Structure 1
Amino acid sequence: MRWISLVLLTLLCLLQYRLWFGKHSIPDYWQMKHEVELQREQNANLTQRNSLLKADIEDLKIGLEAIEERARNELGLIKDGETFYRILPSQ
């Protein structure tokens, strides 16, 4: 009877060791859970960025105003008859 109790206690200790310190243990689970949460946040940010890019593409396909705005802001283009003023901050 005493040997059976000793064997069962040993098995319990081995299982507990594996649960807390072995491969696929509880700390590994917590770490993977954290990594999954970080990946979900990154995916949400990328999904938002993709939707903004899709909206930008649709604006460029539909109207000329978006194209003109981009040309003005990114390329510094002006229309005929307009005067471009650049105000520099004082240093």
Structure 2
Amino acid sequence: MGLISGLLLLPLAPVRGVGWVADRLIDAAERELYDPDVVRGRLAALNDALDRGDIDLAQFEREEERLLDVLERRPPSLHRPAS
């Protein structure tokens, strides 16, 4: 980036910084959403809730199906090209 373009684009630096932070947050959220260990932990907590009677069988089956779908599906790519 040249000196002139750097000076002209300087007012946009905070916007680019916010965009970069947003991208990092999205990446972290996707990693947590699709992390098999996290999903298995949620399944275990769901089983515990059913055993305690906190949820009924229908709620358990709906949530279990959703979690198993998440576990089976992997996003195409968790990593975006660096910008």
The two structures have a TM-score, normalised by structure 2, of: 0.42
Structure ID, larger Rg: 1
Q: Greater relative contact order: 1 or 2 (C-alpha under 8 angstroms, separation 6 or more)? A: 2
